[in-house]
Structure 1
Amino acid sequence: MRSTTRSSTYYSLMRPAGETRVIRWRPELVSVDTVWRLIKRYRRANAAVSVYETTDRDGVPLHVVHVDHGPLYDATDFCTDIFEIPTAALTDL
């Protein structure tokens, strides 16, 4: 059973069409439950979802989820969401 109270970090990036600059939104803390719902929604929309297991700089295990859901509308070249989920948050300890 996954924990819904622990938080994950959510990053969102977008590049406007025809530009070289990438817009980065301030990282947000979101619950693991919210991340699960978003990933399910992305998969239903056929977005490219990749999951990686790694550690942070302090050696704490975490999962990184990269979602490339392409251009959302004609004014963007790409849209990407990245989630950093502490592995301990995925299971009740």
Structure 2
Amino acid sequence: MNEGLDLPYSFDRVWDAMISVLQQAKWNVTRADKATGGIEVHVVMDMITWTETFLVNLTRNNDNSTRVLMGRIGLAQPVDWGISRQYIESFLNKLASALKSAG
């Protein structure tokens, strides 16, 4: 499951906004490599049952456009009732909003 969007902002601006959104969400960033545009995060889906691992990848389309892809890694929980998709969509929406509000 991968979701993504193209944003009309530079790579650096999207990267900085992405780090901020992840910190505000209190997601556990386990790996971040700006050179490759990759970030791995662990999200506690339910305090009792499981943690999901997501990978966010940024690529430069050009100087003023960046593609963001986010997907779940592996199958930590075979049935997640659509929760992973909700987390991904929420993250992408928050990222787009943060970039718009920053002007």
TM range (shorter): 0.3 to 0.5
TM-score (norm 1): 0.41
Greater helix percent: which structure? 2
